[in-house]
């Protein structure tokens, strides 16, 4: 599917975004290894989370999907059974990495694979520390990439410092730690999203924080519970950016997860001069939630680096798009992780914003965007990367003339209906 984006006038109105992708994945995974039913509402029915459901069904878990309501009939920590076929995680790194932690401790062998993008993404970062816990994970390739075979073993706790800030690796180790002998201690170089810790504690586990170290005690059992998934701030990010750069706009995004490990986008846009207010703040199932009110703003360039990077890692493509409309230079550094996402997002965003007339200079660990240069419509690629497609669409709203984005079906990975949602706010 190709999308055609015309320049926008004002964007006005109220909107909700689909459920949080990270929390949706975890609700199915943890619900499956909890005892009893977990009733999930607001589940993201994007392709990535449907891949997680499919994998757990193949591991013997009964899961019912009714729109965005999902019921997982969990069988407890030891209730998974050997799959009859290879598990397919599709495009989802979260599914593959988090499941590696669980599958490493099962009394059976599992083979996992995914699409061509996932088969290029590094899995050594989970296989090595899980190996230290006693796991046996092998790759069919020279590099540690999918397809992977995981032969379940009895695991033991480790004390491990992550070399890269990664919530996926941290979560895989936490999940393995539930099954291990003794305590598992994980130290992060920078704080990353803590949805796994929050949800596990909500379901009865004992996950504590000692400074930068997460301490996991083996769990006797988790208990299934109702889980309400808030809207995904990573999906709200496109509307935040779009409202900021469009003239005379005001958009209220309701019911968005605002866990402080995810709100780097709000901090960064505020530092750029963005008019953003959080209202109706509350806590739902242990997760902070709010409504986000955004108004058109005159943005200026900033430097974004260091500890904030993991808190906005998935939003850097759309920050880059908005930075084209800021005055002055925006520098993004310490974000080399972007090179191993669904696409190399430094390269792909520099290329696509470049096609629209922007000057984006790639660096090893980020990019420099020279703001204030008018953009023009172009024919752009998505690289089958959902966040690239959605970010290019935001950049196109402020460009002169029409932009075509090729192969946009990939938005269904995290945000089915994205283009209609964007159109619904236009007042032109």
Give me the least distance between CB of 234 and ligand S3P, in Å please. Answer: 7
- Give whichever of 346 and 425 is closer to ligand S3P, judged by the CB atom: 346
Give me the least distance between CB of 364 and ligand S3P, in Å please. Answer: 17
Give me the least distance between CB of 110 and ligand S3P, in Å please. Answer: 20
Residue 91 in contact with ligand S3P, rule: CB under 6 A? no
- Give whichever of 290 and 313 is closer to ligand S3P, judged by the CB atom: 313
Query: Which of 137, 313, 395, 396 lies at the binding interface for ligand S3P (CB under 6 A)?
Result: 313
- The CA–CA distances, whole Å, from 201 to 194, 207, 229, 330, 349 equal 11, 6, 16, 39, 38
CA 39, CA 72: separation in Å to the nearest integer? 6
DSSP 91: T
Query: Which of 168, 184, 348, 403 lies at the binding interface for ligand S3P (CB under 6 A)?
Result: 168
Residue 166 in contact with ligand S3P, rule: CB under 6 A? yes
Residue 259 in contact with ligand S3P, rule: CB under 6 A? no
C-alpha closest to that of 272 among 246, 304, 250, 248: 304
Known catalytic residue at 181: no
Q: Outline where DSSP puts E strands in 133-237.
A: 136-139, 148-151, 159-161, 184-187, 207-210, 213-216, 222-223, 227-228
Name the helix (H) or strand (E) containing 14.
strand 12-16
φ, ψ dihedrals at 93, nearest 5°: -65, -35
Catalytic residue among 20, 232, 291, 314: 314
Does residue 147 have a cis peptide bond before it, meaning omega lies within 30 degrees of 0?
Answer: yes
Query: Which of 56, 110, 126, 193 lies at the binding interface for ligand S3P (CB under 6 A)?
Result: 193
Give me the least distance between CB of 15 and ligand S3P, in Å please. Answer: 22
Instruction: Give the CB-nearest residue to ligand S3P.
Output: 22
Q: Which strand ranges, in their side-by-side order, compose the sheet holding 109-113?
A: 87-88, 109-113, 148-151, 136-139
Query: Which of 151, 337, 381, 402 lies at the binding interface for ligand S3P (CB under 6 A)?
Result: 337
Q: How many residues bind ligand S3P (CB under 6 A)?
A: 11
Query: Which of 314, 352, 385, 412 lies at the binding interface for ligand S3P (CB under 6 A)?
Result: 314
CA 329, CA 37: separation in Å to the nearest integer? 51
Give me the least distance between CB of 104 and ligand S3P, in Å please. Answer: 17
Residue 94 in contact with ligand S3P, rule: CB under 6 A? yes
Decide: 318 and 304 in contact? Cβ < 8 Å: no
Give me the least distance between CB of 55 and ligand S3P, in Å please. Answer: 15
Residue 263 in contact with ligand S3P, rule: CB under 6 A? no
- Give whichever of 314 and 385 is closer to ligand S3P, judged by the CB atom: 314
Decide: 92 and 54 in contact? Cβ < 8 Å: no
Angle, helices 167-179/124-132, rounded to nearest 10 degrees? 30
Kindly identify the residues of this chain, within the stretch 9-68, that bind ligand S3P according to CB under 6 A.
22
Catalytic center residues: 314
**Residues of the shown chain interacting with ligand S3P in the complex, contacts defined by CB under 6 A:** 22, 94, 166-168, 171, 192-193, 313-314, 337
């Amino acid at each position: 599917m190709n999308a055609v984006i015309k320049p926008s006038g004002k964007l006005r109105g109220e909107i909700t975004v689909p459920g949080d992708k990270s929390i949706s994945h975890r609700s199915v995974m943890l619900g499956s290894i909890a005892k009893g039913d977990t009733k999930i509402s607001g589940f993201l029915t994007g392709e990535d989370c449907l891949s997680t459901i499919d994998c757990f069904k193949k591991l013997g878990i009964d899961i019912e999907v009714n729109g965005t309501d999902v019921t997982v009939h969990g069988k407890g920590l030891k209730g998974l059974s050997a799959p009859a076929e290879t598990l397919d995680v599709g495009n989802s790194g979260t599914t593959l990495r988090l499941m590696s932690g669980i599958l490493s401790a099962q009394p059976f062998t599992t083979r996992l694979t995914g699409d061509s993008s996932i088969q290029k993404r590094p899995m050594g970062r989970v296989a090595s520390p899980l190996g230290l816990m006693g796991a046996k994970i092998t790759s069919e390739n020279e590099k540690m990439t999918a397809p992977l075979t995981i032969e379940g073993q009895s695991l033991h706790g480790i004390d491990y410092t992550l070399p890269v800030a990664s919530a996926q690796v941290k979560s895989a180790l936490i999940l393995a730690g539930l099954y291990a002998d003794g305590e598992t201690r994980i130290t992060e170089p920078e704080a990353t999203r803590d949805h796994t810790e929050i949800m596990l504690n909500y379901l009865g586990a004992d996950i504590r924080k000692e400074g930068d170290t997460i301490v996991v005690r083996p769990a006797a059992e988790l208990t299934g519970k109702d889980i309400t998934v808030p809207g995904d701030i990573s999906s709200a990010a496109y509307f935040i950016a779009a409202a900021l750069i469009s003239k005379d706009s005001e958009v209220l995004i309701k019911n968005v997860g605002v866990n402080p490990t995810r709100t780097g986008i709000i901090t960064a846009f505020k530092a750029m001069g963005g008019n953003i207010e959080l209202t109706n703040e509350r806590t739902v199932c242990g997760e902070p939630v709010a409504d986000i009110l955004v108004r058109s703003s005159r943005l200026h360039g900033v430097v974004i680096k260091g500890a904030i990077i993991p808190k906005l890692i998935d939003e850097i493509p759309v920050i880059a798009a908005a930075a084209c409309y800021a005055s002055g230079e925006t520098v993004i550094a310490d974000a080399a992780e972007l090179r191993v996402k669904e696409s190399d997002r430094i390269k792909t965003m520099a290329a696509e914003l470049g096609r629209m007339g922007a000057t984006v200079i790639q660096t090893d660990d980020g990019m420099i965007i020279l703001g204030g240069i008018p953009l023009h419509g172009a024919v752009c690629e998505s690289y089958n990367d959902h966040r690239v497609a959605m970010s290019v669409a935001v950049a196109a709203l402020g460009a002169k003339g029409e932009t075509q984005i090729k192969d946009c079906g990939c938005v269904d990975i995290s945000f089915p209906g994205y283009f209609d949602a964007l159109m619904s706010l236009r007042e032109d």
